[in-house]
Amino acid sequence: MNSTGFPLLSLIVFLPLLGAVLVLLLGRRSHAGIRAVALAVTLIVLGLSLAAAALFRPAEAGIQLAEQAPWIPSLGISYRLGVDGFSLFLLPLTALLFVIAVLASWKPVGSDEASRSAVQSYFFWLLLLETGVLGVFAALDLVLFYVFWEAMLIPMYFLIGRWGGERRAYATMKFFIYTMAGSALMLVAILALGYFAYQSTGAWTFDWQTLRELKLAWPAPLWLFAMFGLAFAVKVPVFPFHTWLPDAYVEAPTPVTVLLAGVLSKMGVYGFVRFGLQLFPEGLRAAAPWLAVLAIIGILYASLSALMQKDVKRVIAYSSVAHLSLVVLGVVVANAQSLAGVVMQMVSHGIYVAALFLIVGMLEERRGTRLIAEFGGLWKPAPLLGVCFLIAMLGAVGLPGLNGFVGEFLILVGVFQGVRVYAVLAALGMILGAWYMLWTFQRIMQGPVEARSAGAADMRGMDLLVMVPLLVLIIVLGVFPNLILVPAGATINALVSQAAAVAWLP
Amino acid sequence: MNIADVQIVSILPQTLLLAAALVVFLADLVWKDRKGIGLLALAGVLATFVATVVMLAGPGVPTFQHMAAADRFALVISLVMSAAAVLAVLVSLDYIVRVDLPAGEYYGLLLLAASGMMFLGAATHLMTLFLSLEILSIALYALAGIRTTDIRAGEAALKYFLLGAFASAFLLYGMALLYGATGTTSLAGIAAAVPSVQTDPMLIAGLALLLIGFAFKVAAVPFHMWTPDVYQGAPSSVTAFMSVGAKAAGFAALVRVLVAVFPTLYAWWVWPVGVLAVLTMTWGNLAALAQGNVKRMLAYSSIAHAGYILVGVAAGEAGVSGVLFYLMAYALMNIGAFAVLIALERAEEDAAGVELERMRGLFHRRPWLAAAMTVFMFSLAGMPPLAGFFGKLYVFSAAVRSGLLVLAIIGVINSVISAYYYLRVVARMALAAPAEEAEPARCPALTIGTGIAAVGTVLLGIYPTWLLNLVQGTLAVLFGG
C-alpha cells in the first residue's frame, strides 16, 4: 500500500493480466470483442500510467508510489513495487507502445491461415507480455523482478514462434535459450545477495532498498555485477551478445517487433542502472572500461552491419543495436549529462524505433517484400508514408528539433567530458547512422518509381492512427525535452552523486 | 501390551493404504469391473490424503513403537505420496482399460507401493527402513512388468529387479556395518552414538554403502543405468507414479539418515553428495537432449531432477525444506506431464511411449490439453511463476546458504540446457502444423487429474507460502520425539 492508499502500480501491472483472462473467457470466434477488450485494457493502463506520472513528485529522488506486501516471508521475499525518476517514463512508454501494438494487430497477424485465425491466443499472450514488462519496470524486490523478467519470455516465445515469419521456430528458440542463459546466473547472484543480507542482518531479504545499503566486501560487487550484467547485456543487447537479435526482430510480426525494440530492449538498460549502478557502483566502475569498449564496438559494428543489409527490417534492427549501445555507453560514463541523455534516449528510442518498424511493416504489407532493392520511388504513389518515414528516420538520425537529437547529444556531451576518445568513436557511429538511414530512405522512397510500387496504396485509417501519436511525440519531445528531463532531474542528480562517490572514469 | 500403547494412529495413512490394497485384491476376485475397482482404489487414496491432511493440521502424534515417526517431515512426505497416488489412480482409470491391464493386481500393487513409500518416509529404524524399501520395490518390480505380453515391459521389470536387488544388498551391507559400529539399529540410537565413533572406518564404510544404495533408488548418476529402460518399458501410469513416488521416498530416507543421523559427519558426506548432484543433473539433461521419444526424454529429465534435489540434500540442514517443496512440485508437474502422454498414447503403436512427432499441432486439436502440457514443460524447465521455479529457488538458495555456490551455478546452467528439450515439446505442440492423428483420449478422470496437476503447478508457483510454511522447521522434529 502506498502513501495515497491506492495500489496504483499494482493496478497498472496486473490489469493486463486481468484483460488476458477476460480474453480467454470470450468466445474463440468473437474476434471483435477480443480486440475491443485488448484495446480498452491497454488504453486504461496508459491512462493509469499517465496518472502515475502526474502523481509523481519531481523534486524527490527516491522511490515513490511504493507498495509492499509479504509474499514468501520464510525466504524474505516480498511483493514490492515502486518507481523513481528513472523508471517513471518507462511505464507510459510501455503502455503507449502496447496500445500501438494492439492497434497494429487489428488486421490479423501471422504468416499462415492457422495463426491468423488464432486471434484469441494472440491477444492473450500480448496482454500477458504487458504485465511482464510493466512488472519488470516496477518491481523492487529482486526475486519478484526475476519472476517478471523470466516469465516475460513465455509470451514472447509464443508471439514470435506462432505469429512470426518464415524462420520463426528457429528465431524464437534462439531468443528464448539465449536470454534464459543470460539471466541464469542472475538468479544465483540474487540468491547470493540475499544470503549476504542474511549474514549481516540475520534475515534473508531481497528488498532492493535494503540491499542498496548493504556493505559488500570486494570483490563481491564485481562478480555480482558481472552475473547481473550478463543478463542485461544479452537483453540490450551489447556486443558480442547480439546475435539473437536480428533473427528475433526480423522474424517477429510487426507489432511484436515494435515491442521488442521499443520496450524490451529498454529492460536491459534499465537493469544496468537499477541493479548495476545503484546496487553495485564499485562493480560497474571496475567493469566500466570493458563495457565501454564493448559498447563502442557495438556502435561501430552494428552501424556497419546496418549499412550492408539488403532487408530494411534488418537495417532498423541493427540501428537499434547501435543506438542502444550508445545508451549503455552513457550509463557507463555516468555523469550528469550522459545520464540525462540515457533517460531521454530510452524514451525517445522507444518511440522512433516503434515508428520505423511500423513503417517497415507497412512497406512489407504493400509489396510483400522487405528487400530494399525491390523498392524505389515509393514517395510518388504513397506520399504520406514517405512523410512519416522521413520524420521517424530524421528522429532516429538525431536531427535537432526531433527527439533523437536530445538524448544522443546529451550522451555524447557526457561521454566527451568523460573520455574524449570514446566520444569521437561514438560520434563516428552517429555519422554512419545518418548514412545508412538516409541511404535506405533514398533507395526506398526516391528515384524512379519501381514498376510494382506504382499502384501501392498510401497510408489511411488504421495506418495513420498508429503512426500519428508516435510522430507527434517525436516532435513534442524534440522541442520540449524538459517534459522528461525535469521530473527525472532529482533522480539523475542522485545517480550522479552515487557514481561520483566511487570515483568514476577519469 | 495394551492395544492403546500400539499408537496405531501414527501410521494411519500407511495402514489405510494397506487396508485399501487388501480390499482391492479381494474385490478383484468377485468383481470384474475394472473401473469399479479403480474407484475403490481412488476412495482408498483419497481417504489417505484426507487422513494425512487432518494429521498435519492436528496436534503431533507419537512415534509408532520407535519404528516409524509421524513427525511433520513424515507427514509432508505422506502428503506428497498420497497426492501422487491420487493423481496416479485418476490417470489410470481409463488407461488400464485401454491398454488392457489386470485391475486388481494393478491397483493393489500401486497401493502397496504407496504404502511402502510412506513407511520409508516415516522410518526411524533401520529395520523399518529396509522393510518399507522392499515393500515398495517389490511392488514396483511387479508393476513395471505388469504388461506381460510386452517383451519390453518384461525387460524393464527384470532389469529393475536385478539392479534393485543389487542396491538393496548395498543398503543391507551398509546397515550391518552401521550396526557393527554403533551397536544399535534405531536411527536415534545411531545418531547418539555417532559423535563417539566418528572416525571409525566401519561407520564411514557403512555410510558410504548406504549412500550408494540410496543413489540407486533415486536414480543418481552413475547408478542410474536402469532408469531409462525401466521408465520407458513400464506402463506410462506406472512410470508417472514410480518416477515421483519412489524418488520422493528414497530422498526422504536419504535426508533423514544423512541430515538427522550424521550431521556431525557433514564434511564427509557433502562432497560425494555434491559430486553425485553435479553428475546427475548434467548427465540427465545432456542425455535428455538427444531423445526423440517423449517418454524416454521424461525418464532422463527425471534423472536430472534427482540431481537438483541432491543439491538440496548436499546443503544439509538448510536444504531439508527445499527438498520437500521440490518433491511436491515435481510430483504435480511430472505426473501431469505423464497424464498428457497417457491421453495421447494408443494401445498398439505407442507401447514404447509417445514419439515427439506425435505432439505436432496439439494446440489446434486439443488446446486445453496442450495448455496443460505447456504449463508442465515450463515448470519442469524452472520458469517462473510456476512451481518448478520455486522448487529450484528453494534448493539453490539453501545451497548458497551452505556455501555451495558452485552447485547453484551448475544447477542454473543445467536449467538452461533442460529448457531446450522441454521447449521442443512446446514447439511441436504450438508451432508445428497439426498432423493427421487419431483424437487423443477423452476421459473425465484423466481430465480431472491433469487439471488438478496443472492448477496445482500454477498455484504452487503464485502462492508457494502455504507449502513453505508446512515444510519449514521440519528438521526440528525429525525424530518425532
Q: Round to whole Å and give the CA distance between B156 and B231.
A: 8
Estimate the share of chain A in helix, then strand, then coil, as percent rounded to the nearest 5. 75, 5, 20
Last residue of one domain, picked from the residues A256, A279, A302: A279
Predicted pLDDT of residue B480? 41
Chain A residues with a Cβ under 8 Å from any Cβ in chain B: 71-75, 114, 143, 146-147, 150-151, 153-154, 157-158, 161-162, 168-169, 172-173, 176-177, 180-181, 184-185, 187-188, 191-192, 194-195, 198, 204
3-class SS at A311? strand
List pLDDT tens digits, range A384-417: 888 999 999 999 998 888 988 999 999 999 999 8
Q: Which residue from B245, B229, B225 is spatially nearest to B237, judged by alpha carbons?
A: B245
3-class SS at A72? strand
Query: Given A147, A176, A185, which is nearest B419 (Cβ)?
Result: A176
Per DSSP, the residues of B364-394 read HH-HHHHHHHHHHHHHHTT-TTSHHHHHHHH
- Tell how many helices (H) and how many strands (E) occur in chain B: 19, 0
Rg (CA), chain B: 21
Vertex A177, ends A174 and A178: CA angle to 5°? 75
Predicted pLDDT of residue B479? 45
Per-residue pLDDT of chain B (481 residues; tens, 9 = 90+): 455 556 777 788 888 999 999 999 999 888 888 888 999 999 999 999 999 988 888 776 677 777 888 888 888 999 999 999 999 999 999 888 888 888 889 999 999 999 999 999 889 899 999 999 999 999 999 999 888 888 888 888 999 999 999 899 999 999 999 999 998 999 888 988 888 887 888 999 999 999 999 999 899 988 888 899 899 888 899 999 999 999 999 999 999 999 888 888 888 899 999 999 999 999 999 999 999 899 999 999 999 999 999 999 999 888 898 999 999 999 999 999 999 999 888 766 777 788 888 888 888 888 899 999 999 999 999 998 999 999 999 999 999 999 999 999 999 999 999 999 999 999 988 888 777 666 777 888 899 999 999 999 999 988 888 888 777 766 555 544 3
CB distance A10 to A67 below 8 Å: yes
| CB within 8 Å of chain A, chain B residues 353-382 | 364, 378
Which of A292-296, A453-457, B141-145, B223-227 is least confident?
A453-457
Q: What is the mean pLDDT of residues A125-139?
A: 94
Contact A184 B412 (CB under 8 A): yes
Which of A16-25, A64-73, A229-238, B205-214 is least confident?
A64-73
Considering only CB atoms, which chain B residues are within 8 Å of A195? Answer: 397, 400-401
Predicted pLDDT of residue B46? 95
Tell whether B384 is within 8 A of chain A (Cβ).
yes
* CB contacts < 8 A (A, B): 88
Rounded to a whole number, what is the distance in Å from the CA of B384 to chain A's nearest CA? Answer: 5
Last residue of one domain, picked from the residues A254, A279, A304: A279
Residue A496: domain span: 282-506
Structural domain count, chain A: 2
CB distance B295 to B353 below 8 Å: yes
Predicted pLDDT of residue B438? 66
Contact A180 B426 (CB under 8 A): no
Predicted pLDDT of residue A2? 47
Considering only CB atoms, which chain A residues are within 8 Å of B416? Answer: 177, 180-181, 184
Tell whether B412 is within 8 A of chain A (Cβ).
yes
For residues A226 and B4, the model is more confident at A226
Query: Given B384, B409, B433, which is nearest A188 (Cβ)?
Result: B409
Predicted pLDDT of residue B410? 95
Percent of residues, chain A, with pLDDT higher than 70: 98
**A21 & A167 share domain:** yes
Considering only CB atoms, which chain B residues are within 8 Å of A143? Answer: 393
Predicted confidence (pLDDT) at residue A504 exceeds the cutoff of 80:
no
**A391 & A324 share domain:** yes
Predicted pLDDT of residue B85? 95
Interface with A, mutate which of B320, B380, B400 (most A CBs under 10 A): B400
ipTM of the prediction? 0.91
Query: Given B385, B394, B427, which is nearest A161 (Cβ)?
Result: B427
**A79 & A203 share domain:** yes
Q: Which residue in chain A is spatially nearest to B400 when comparing CA positions?
A: A192
Considering only CB atoms, which chain A residues are within 8 Å of B397? Answer: 75, 191, 194-195, 204
**A218 & A320 share domain:** no
Last residue of one domain, picked from the residues A260, A279, A298: A279
**A422 & A470 share domain:** yes
Q: Which residue from B187, B121, B116, B49 is spatially nearest to B323, judged by alpha carbons?
A: B121
Residue B389: domain span: 3-477
Query: Given B397, B412, B420, which is nearest A185 (Cβ)?
Result: B412
Structural domain count, chain B: 1
Interface with B, mutate which of A149, A154, A227 (most B CBs under 10 A): A154
